Structure 1
Amino acid sequence: MSQEDPVQGDETYSLEELGHPRGTLAIVLIYGALFALGWALLYFGEFIPRGAPH
């Protein structure tokens, strides 16, 4: 019974083997959409109704 080292530092992976980072892209897009939604709610809900400062 031999135990293999689970971490091998000499392995390299190509982009074709790893695939495209769709999960990361989805997280970034969701974060961006939530940020834009929050900005729009603050802008149109708080600043526009108050009007321009006199």
Structure 2
Amino acid sequence: DPHLSTYLEQEFLDEQVESIKEYVGYITNLRRVGPGLGEYVFDEEELQK
């Protein structure tokens, strides 16, 4: 069914793509800040949202 296929792509795949982009941003920021204090500050700022 083409309509069901289109619906599923728009509703679920778009949501998954946005989640993946968010996680990629987290990973990038964690690599920048490094271990220790950087991770602590990242946790406090990002995960409290």
Compute the TM-score of the two structures, normalised by the length of structure 2: 0.54
Question: What is the alpha-carbon root mean square deviation over aligned residues?
Answer: 1.9
Shift of 1:24: 2.0
Unaligned runs of 5+ in 1: 1-18
Unaligned runs of 5+ in 2: 37-49
**Larger gyration radius, structure 1 or structure 2:** 1
Runs of 4+ displaced beyond 4 Å: none
Q: Relative CO higher for 1 or 2, CA cutoff 8 Å, sep ≥ 6?
A: 2
Compute the TM-score of the two structures, normalised by the length of structure 1: 0.50
Compare the two structures and name the one with the higher helix fraction: 2
